């Protein structure tokens, strides 16, 4: 989907490009 973000703390957040993307997150 291109909206799955993995935070560097290991927790998953589901946001899209226009959503909140924090430093250290990776888009899968």
Per-domain residue ranges for the chain? 1-28
Q: What is the DSSP string of the chain?
A: ---EEE-TTS-EEE--TTS---TT-EE-
pTM of the model: 0.21
pLDDT of residue 11: 72
Provide the sign of the torsion angle of the four alpha carbons 3, 11, 28, 24, taken in this order.
positive
The model's pLDDT over 1-26, given as tens digits with 9 standing for 90+, comes to: 566 666 667 777 666 666 666 666 66
HSE-CB of 21 using CA atoms within 13 angstroms: 14
12-14 and 4-6 strand pairing: antiparallel
What whole-number distance in Å separates Cα of residue 2 and Cα of residue 27? 7
């Amino acid at each position: 989907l291109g909206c799955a973000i993995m935070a560097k703390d290991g927790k998953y957040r589901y946001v899209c490009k226009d959503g909140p993307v924090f430093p250290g997150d990776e888009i899968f």
